[in-house]
Amino acid sequence: MSTHPFHQVDVFAPRPLAGNPVAVVHDAEGVPDERLAAFARWTNLSETTFLLPPTPEGAAAGADYRLRIFTPGRELPFAGHPTLGSAHAWLAAGGVPRQADVVVQECGVGLVEVRRDADGLAFAAPALLRSGPVEDDVRAQAVAALGVDPDAVLDLAWVDNGPGWLGVRLDAAATVLALQPDFATMGDLRVGVVGAHPEGGPADVEVRAFVPSLSVPEDPVTGSLNAGLALWLTAAGVLPPSYVARQGTALGRDGRVVVTTGDDGRVWVGGATLGLVEGVVEL
């Protein structure tokens, strides 16, 4: 057994208990993979992360730390809310980034920049590993799994930056909120759904994320999905360069994801991070 510092951070949370929690274990070097996976199953959160020193290659490229990200079902090469929550925990534990106000994370998709400013933390959306049109059979499966009127489906696209996201754009936020998916029909698909709120609504768009194949039927607030949706829909001119997404409403949460596009065209995905639990864990 080994003892490790531990944080639990509420991410994309405008107030405590409104966002998506992530469990963060520090100094996890040397812990066997099966123990990491077992702890992630035990926490039963959408994701549990483990902070380690960067690899020599990562350190040479400027990484401040390396992150491994586990769902209860498998390890992921990248995920958004764990990236922000882990950066929060690393800074709270005394981590000092090499670049002022920019933390560089090494993970399965490479290096990810996390900036901090007066509004909180934001990560630079990584490039999509898969994008573009969706095959007809996959479209039919997704529409059937969502149980939505096909006329309410405005567009679909692959927006995969690691977890395997399929993006579905619906005609309205109300349609998004009314979904009651059939997870058996969804199978291995990881489906993210977005619909616009009317002007003056609580946010610009409503988002939901369904990932039953990762033992997370619905994720409360999802950074990687929002990053993929942002790259897709801002490039298409459907959404403005900067906007706010609400997610978690159907689960009793009230997450807020702030998307901004810099002058250089880079898309940043951020929000508030709140440390709610701190202690030690035995692995």
* Element of type H or E holding 261: strand 255-261
Classify residue 35: in a domain, yes or no. Answer: yes
In a domain, 11, yes or no: yes
Count of Cβ atoms closer than 10 Å to residue 75 Cβ = 15
The pLDDT tens digits for 150-175 are 999 999 999 999 999 999 999 999 99
- Banded model confidence at residue 274, pLDDT cuts 50, 70, 90: very high
**For the residues 77-101, what does the mean pLDDT come to?**
96
Residues 102 and 136 in one domain: no
Q: What is the mean pLDDT of residues 53-75?
A: 97
For the full predicted model, state whether its pTM sits above 0.85: yes
What amino acid positions are annotated as catalytic residues?
47
Q: Within a domain: residue 218?
A: yes
Per DSSP, 263 falls in state T
Domain harbouring 44, CATH code: 3.10.310.10
Domain boundaries, position 75: 3-127+270-282
Report which of 211, 195, 180, 178 is spatially closest to residue 246, judged by C-alpha positions.
Answer: 195
Residue 158: predicted pLDDT: 98
Residue pLDDT, tens place only, 192-206: 999 999 999 999 999
